Structure 1
Amino acid sequence: MKTADFDFHLPDDRIALRPAEPRDSARLLVVRDGGLEDRIIRDLPDFLRPGDALVFNDTRVIPARLSGVRERIGAEGETLTVAVEATLHHRDAPDVWSAFMKPGKRIKPGDRIRFGPDSDGACLLGRLDATVVDKGEDGLVTLRFDLSGPFLDEAIRDVGIMPLPPYIAAKRPEDDRDRSDYQTMFAHWDGSVAAPTAGLHFTPALMAAIEA
């Protein structure tokens, strides 16, 4: 079996660029007893029974995409720069994240990365600079930031953008609305680097109906 076996054509007009409003009006495909049924998320209580368990992800999505510049000292002592982008993947220490970098082939251990726009005074003061400490065969790059803990968290919030799915990011730029659109009603703890999309469809009204 190959991943290509799962390819299919999805027309552009079928790609939603914003979540459904209200959220529990999103479509729900019910698969049971060998049949398919089109419903909406608001109908979910019809399919639940006493004793069923629902498990929710209570992490908040962070603006995990960071644009920056790779800096490297050339053979003549000059500073060589190239634009790069990092998508944070996993936090390994208070000041260390593993990330996917583009263009990854141009990154090597020892490189310095300066994240944020040049006009951002915080970035120019080194508030979100990092050093590449490792590059794995799986494409992940290990970044050690100059900041640590909550100071690093704050800097990421200042200069990062929301990690929109590629099929949306290719259609429109990120905006302020995305910072709320891609959080669930359960979001409490910072840490998700992608939206927990199944939970996006739940609303206080739907939860009340489920509890009832």
Structure 2
Amino acid sequence: MLAQVVTRMPLMALVVPNLPEPWPSVLMSGPGASFSAGLFEETARLLLMLWLLKHLRRWIDGVSFGLGHGGIEAVLLLGIANVNNLVLGVLINSGGWDAVAQTLPGETAEQLRSALVDTSPWMFLLGGVERLAAISLHIACSLLVLAGIVHGRKLLGWVAAVLLHGSFNLVAVAMAGAGVNLVLVEAVLVALAIGLWVAIVRSRPLFPQGPTSEVAPTPGVA
């Protein structure tokens, strides 16, 4: 998440538009945005594991890393917004909305109120479903990167995580861009997340079982 805010987003906003064509069109497209997000996040994940978490190589360490990453992201992207929506909803139901509306431009206040009143409660829950799928992705990517480190294939693990991350993003972006019903989009993401969890659970034997035990490096890409 930090890699997105500190590096990728400023680059996409300030640098990419000034590049010669076709680079802006490519990088700002659905595939470009999806895989650049994976590139920055998985690079940050690899560096953190190598430099700051060098003694944490167990399966549970990878799961915890992904859970923490995805959990923080969920709080920042969804939790704060939902708390704000809850407060505004209480004000609307308790008759206190007029005081808030007076501080906003007329059209903005009405649009905000309509969005809260007219949107089905189930639609707000879909954001939580999407975040659960994203947390599953972060755990899977963390284990891919960590497995690469443990088995002496850092580059391979990193590339696999970038491809998985970008592909997962692209599925959501492509379906939403094609006008697919939001419920169906989330259903597909849940199905993908279930598949990821099958792989997550089955990957446990690939990692050291104790905090100081080692797994012999597998010959291959360093």
Q: Same fold (TM over 0.5)?
A: no
Please identify which structure carries the higher strand content. Answer: 1
Q: Name which structure has the greater RCO, CA cutoff 8 Å, separation 6+.
A: 2
TM-score, scaled relative to structure 1: 0.29
TM-score by length of 2: 0.28
